[in-house]
């Protein structure tokens, strides 16, 4: 296992939003960070630059998590990067953050193409990316998956997205059991609504939606990406060394 000062986190979808905040939080806590991006190369480079200013090593790799056929190439690129920039063969923490939302008018309005896109991004892609990267993940490391509060409470039109996240919650428990022999902890964080550009900035740009969220949240405010990133960073720390197979909802107590 690498020393505390040299641990490496891989954050998918780390160029913006929650992924960016998570990458920065992990760097602030002393980790080196690799992020992936789909199309936002310039934004990813900016995140890398900020992390390097914090005194940590950082890099960005392109990855479309919906394209399982590309994972061999990605794994090879990651392996090369680990050797060339970080002088190691393995990394320590995998955070499966990359994704996009889907809100449709109703269940019957959901098309097969929409369903397949959600499945490929949020379940199939994550499933096979973990499988592909396991040989590069240190024994004693951790995997943190991302779910949603929508697996506990419901909003019409979000059933497809939430169903894929429910599948990830089940997979998380199975992975925790199967990878426990390697000392790898596997948990899943379920954020409540966060006003980022997720789902086209639906929450961020709609004051009426924001007011409704506040009125239904025990802590009576909107979340910030930092509220969620801190939970993820905790799960990547030694303070969470006895935490595995857990769904941790970070929602401020919405819809209690």
What residues are labeled active site?
A: 161
SS3 of residue 242 by DSSP: coil
| Contacts of residue 75, Cβ cutoff 8 Å, sequence gap at least 6 | 132, 133, 136
Chain length of the chain: 256
d(CA 147, CA 95): 12
Q: What's the CA angle centered on 117, arms 112 and 22, to 5 degrees?
A: 155
Alpha carbon 47 to chain centroid, angstroms: 16
Q: Which of 140, 136, 142 is nearest to 181 (CA)?
A: 140
The answer to whether residues 92 and 7 touch, using CB atoms and an 8 Å cutoff, is yes
Q: Which residue shows structure tokens 């059933």?
A: 159
d(CA 220, CA 66): 36
d(CA 129, CA 12): 10
H/E segment holding residue 93: strand 91-96
H/E segment holding residue 167: helix 159-179
């Amino acid at each position: 296992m690498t020393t505390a000062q040299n641990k490496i986190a891989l954050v998918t979808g780390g160029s913006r939003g929650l992924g960016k905040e998570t990458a920065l939080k992990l760097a602030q806590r002393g980790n080196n960070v690799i992020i992936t991006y789909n199309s936002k190369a310039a934004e990813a480079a900016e995140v890398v630059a900020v992390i390097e200013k914090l005194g940590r090593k950082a890099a960005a790799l392109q990855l479309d998590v919906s394209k399982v056929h590309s994972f061999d190439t990605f794994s090879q690129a990651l392996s090369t990067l680990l050797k060339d920039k970080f002088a190691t063969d393995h990394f320590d923490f995998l955070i499966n953050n990359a994704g996009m939302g889907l809100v449709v008018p109703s269940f019957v309005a959901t098309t097969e193409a929409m369903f397949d896109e959600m499945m490929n991004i949020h379940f199939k892609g994550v499933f096979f990316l973990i499988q592909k990267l396991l040989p590069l993940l240190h024994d004693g490391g951790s995997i943190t998956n991302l779910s949603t509060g929508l697996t506990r409470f419901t909003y019409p039109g979000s059933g497809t997205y939430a169903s894929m996240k429910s599948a990830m919650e089940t997979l998380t428990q199975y992975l925790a059991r199967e990878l426990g022999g390697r000392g790898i902890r596997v948990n899943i964080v379920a954020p409540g609504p966060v006003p980022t550009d997720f789902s086209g900035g639906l929450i961020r740009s709609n004051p009426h939606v924001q007011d409704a969220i506040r009125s239904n949240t025990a802590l009576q405010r909107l979340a910030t990406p930092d509220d969620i990133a801190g939970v993820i960073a905790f799960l990547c720390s030694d303070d969470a060394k006895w935490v595995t197979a857990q769904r941790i909802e970070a929602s401020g107590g919405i819809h209690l």
